[in-house]
A and B are shown apart, each in its own frame.
Chain A
Amino acid sequence: MTGPITFQLGVPECPVDPPIIDHFFQEPESEAYSIRFVPTDELSKEETVFVSVPLESPEGRQIGTCHGELSKLLGGGRSIERIGHGGGGDFTFHLDDGTWRELSDPSFDQTVVRRAYELLQHMAQTAELALRVQLAGGTASEAARPKVVR
Chain B
Amino acid sequence: MARQDLSAIPNREPLRRLASGLEIARARKHEPIDFSRLNRNQIERLTDKRFGSKFLPEWTLERLTDWIQEQVELQHWTPQSGRASISTLRFQNPWAIPAASWRIQSG
Interface residues of chain A, those whose CB is within 8 Å of chain B, are 1-5, 7-11, 14, 16-18, 20, 23, 27, 29-30, 32, 34, 36, 38, 41, 47-48, 50, 52, 82, 84-88, 90, 92, 94, 100, 102, 147-149
A14-B50, A14-B51, A47-B52 in contact; A5/B82 too (CB < 8 A)?
no
- Complex CA gap A128/B17 in Å reads 30
CB distance from A34 to the nearest CB of B (A): 6
B37 with A147: CB separation less than 8 A? no
B51 with A88: CB separation less than 8 A? yes
- Residue interface mask B22-59, A partner, CB < 8 A = 1: 00010111011110011000100110011111000100
Q: How many A-B residue pairs have CB under 8 A?
A: 103
Main secondary structure of the interface of A (DSSP, over half): loop
| Most B C-beta atoms less than 10 A away, residue of A1, A20, A34 | A1
- Residue interface mask B80-93, A partner, CB < 8 A = 1: 01111110000000
Nearest opposing residue in chain A for B37, CB measure: A9
| Most A C-beta atoms less than 10 A away, residue of B29, B49, B52, B62 | B49
